[in-house]
Amino acid sequence: MILKTTLLFVATAIAEIVGCFLPYLWLRKGGSIWLLAPAAASLATFVWLLTLHPAASGRVYAAYGGVYVATALVWLRFVDGVKLSTLDWAGAAVALFGMAIIVSGWSKGS
């Protein structure tokens, strides 16, 4: 269950990051206003993906936060081209460990 949940969270994080990155390109980098259409679609996908988890929403949001942190750092490295420090990677590992702890406690109907 943790692997399936993690993969779903990664897809969710990518949808959220893309939904926020495209308006950033428009506002800060002189991109086209048409970037807002796929940004809105990406954010709608993000919201929908969060509803696919079997746990109560607060637990989903708490666990998702750990995956979001790690995914955002990977985005920073590979999309923005910023070299990550050892502490960045350590922080991502701690965040993912926290997510795993929360998800391992999920039970049906919780």
> pLDDT (tens digit, 9 = 90+) per residue, 30-41?
999 999 999 999
Q: Is the pLDDT of residue 44 over 90?
A: yes
* Residue type, position 12, single letter: T
Residue 80 maps to a domain: yes
Note whether residue 109 is domain-resident.
no
The answer to whether the CB of 61 falls within 8 A of the CB of 7 is: no
Q: Has residue 10 been placed in a domain?
A: yes
Residue 104 and residue 2 in contact, taking contact as beta carbons nearer than 8 Å: yes
Q: Tell me how many degrees the CA angle 53-98-55 measures, rounded to the nearest 5.
A: 20
Which residues constitute the domain of residue 14? 2-104
Q: How many domains does the chain have?
A: 1
Q: How far is CA 64 from the centre of its chain?
A: 7
> For residue 108, what pLDDT is reported?
56
Q: Is residue 78 a part of any domain in this protein?
A: yes
Q: Which helix (H) or strand (E) holds 38?
A: helix 36-50
Mean pLDDT, rounded, of the chain: 92
Domain membership of residue 96 (yes or no) is: yes
Q: Is residue 110 part of a domain?
A: no
